[in-house]
Structure 1
Amino acid sequence: MATYEDLSGKAALITGGAGGLGVAAAAALLAQGARVAIVDISADALAAAVESLGASERVIAITADISDEQDVKRYVDETVAAFGRIDVFFNNAGVEGKVAPLVDQAVADFDRVIAINVRGSWLGLHYVLPVMYAQGSGSVINTSSIGGLSAGPLPVSPYVTSKFAITGLTRIAAQESAAKGVRVNSIHPSPVTTRMMDSLEEGAGVPREAIASSIPLGRYAAPEDVAELVLFLASDASSFITGSQYRIDGGMLS
């Protein structure tokens, strides 16, 4: 792990906190001294995540549905109650939806992906940004995807639609937040070794080796690879960076 400044006293909030990217980012932030709130819809998954993180006294777990406004307000309130502030918001939770051509996608499935990936991300910003504005500082990292920059080969139109939306949301939020001392950036991973890619591989009927062969570096990203980028954007090492889209794709979109 790269070394950044000591983050002791800083408070981070991570949605999708029980998933592969969320746990890796939490571990990276904890290693630098931060306090971390992890949010997920599954209480069992959160319990496992906390255990994997060493049940640190600097970790709290909050069960919430990020598409539900009251749940979002509650997870923000609980984080502030525990830590007194929010310095880093890893706005990360999302779902992949079904692998099927656009004309074969069910409207209900489209609505679910948009509710979680877009509404959930927007709601997180809606309630976290006022906390950061009051502090006069903060860093937001939105999880998009290479599917938020290019359509890609898999037929996942609800997912691609949602991830392009995150790109636009990042840019407008960055414009609105800069004068308040808050930075907002997005990350755009290629395939990562997480549950989501397991699901997409199964849905597409495509072996991992075939997808990995389309990545110039020849492999999927590890969650820890992405966590290093999150840590950089969370830290003051990126203090002059906002409104940017960071590809972490092994050269896939080169």
Structure 2
Amino acid sequence: MVDSSLAGKSALITGAAQGIGAAIAELFAARGAKVVVADINAEGGEETAGKIVKDGGEAQFVRTDVTSAADLDAAVKATVDAYGRLDIAINNAGIEEQGSALHEITEEAWDKLVSVNLKGVWLSMKAEITQMLGQGGGTIVNMASIAGMVGLPLGIADYSAAKGGVVALTRTAAIEYVKNGIRINAVCPGVVRTSLLDNAIKTGMFTEPEAAALHPTGVLIDPEDVAEAFLYLASDAAKHVTGHAMPIDAGMAAG
């Protein structure tokens, strides 16, 4: 039996040029969604959209800087122009932490990370909610992190603060718009096999075995595993779920 749980739905996915975002876009398309891939990385974004189309899905790429309100308004408009409405918004775009102790984080580094990882989610939601209010509802799932739920001694105070902000923003917005038919949730992954992890290993933040050991299971998480959580929260199977920050963390929050 073919799973068509998102058949006929339109989905805007930020940060979908690679990693978890690309895995979400490909999974959603495989489940029947019409996808807009939004990313500042044009080459990677075109590649993700092209792969979906090659596999028989429907997708297009829109270059989007999530720190730009104008870009996000344009991405939402492109989705509506192409597919008639915005059913699902996945706010996944983010950048990595630098692995610096709190007192060594520069103001420039703090501002850059918070601008993308927190302000970018807020700006995305502003554009998306405006559209969803006009069409009578929709679903938003934000990318947070287990680092926004528990303290981790990894030199990621800026990243943790931004992701904690995403969790709080998600919960507040969920209550604010629940009467308007808009469900808003977040996913909080642990350590996932992505290019961000590769860069952290290369810069000496930790080794791969040390990264895996952060999980009580001792196993790293694959992007496809995280994508499945986004699929659930975006689908009608989660119609009674809103304001939830879902850990996909191999037990980190339980420790």
* TM-score, with structure 2 as normaliser: 0.94
For the aligned residues, what is the CA RMSD?
1.6
Letter in 2 for 1:153: P
Question: Cα distance, 1:54 vs. partner?
Answer: 4.0
Question: Cα distance, 1:4 vs. partner?
Answer: 5.3
Question: Cα distance, 1:202 vs. partner?
Answer: 2.7
Counterpart of 1:38 in structure 2 is 37
Residue correspondence of structure 1 range 211-230 to structure 2 within 5 A: 211-230=211-230
Counterpart of 1:190 in structure 2 is 190
Q: 1:120 to 1:4 in 2, by over 3 A?
A: same
Question: Cα distance, 1:5 vs. partner?
Answer: 5.1
Question: Cα distance, 1:244 vs. partner?
Answer: 0.6
Contact 1:5 1:235 in 2 (8 A): no
Counterpart of 2:74 in structure 1 is 74
Contact 1:39 1:46 in 2 (8 A): yes
Contact 2:26 2:52 in 1 (8 A): yes
Counterpart of 1:179 in structure 2 is 179
Q: Which runs of 4+ in 1 moved over 3 A?
A: 2-6, 54-57
CA distance in 2, matches of 1:57, 1:252: 35
Question: Cα distance, 1:57 vs. partner?
Answer: 5.8
Residue correspondence of structure 1 range 43-122 to structure 2 within 5 A: 43-55=42-54, 56=56, 58-122=58-122
Question: Cα distance, 1:214 vs. partner?
Answer: 2.7
Contact 1:145 1:163 in 2 (8 A): yes
CA distance in 2, matches of 1:73, 1:206: 38
CA distance in 2, matches of 1:205, 1:165: 23
Contact 2:191 2:197 in 1 (8 A): yes
Contact 1:38 1:59 in 2 (8 A): yes
Q: 1:204 to 1:152 in 2, by over 3 A?
A: farther
Percent of aligned pairs with the same amino acid:
34
CA distance in 1, matches of 2:134, 2:86: 10
Can you give the 5+ residue segments of structure 2 that lack an aligned partner in the other structure?
none
Can you give the 5+ residue segments of structure 1 that lack an aligned partner in the other structure?
none
Match of 2:203, SS? helix
Which range moved further: 197-206 or 124-133?
A: 197-206
Contact 1:11 1:86 in 2 (8 A): yes
Contact 1:15 1:90 in 2 (8 A): yes
Counterpart of 1:233 in structure 2 is 233
Contact 1:7 1:33 in 2 (8 A): yes
Aligned residues: 253
Residue correspondence of structure 1 range 143-162 to structure 2 within 5 A: 143-162=143-162
CA distance in 2, matches of 1:171, 1:152: 22
* TM-score, with structure 1 as normaliser: 0.95
CA distance in 2, matches of 1:105, 1:42: 26
Match of 1:90, SS? strand
Contact 1:118 1:166 in 2 (8 A): yes
Q: 1:3 to 1:129 in 2, by over 3 A?
A: farther
Which range moved further: 129-138 or 179-188?
A: 129-138
Match of 1:38, SS? strand
Contact 2:189 2:247 in 1 (8 A): yes
Question: Cα distance, 1:38 vs. partner?
Answer: 0.8
Counterpart of 1:13 in structure 2 is 12
Counterpart of 2:248 in structure 1 is 248
Question: Cα distance, 1:206 vs. partner?
Answer: 1.4
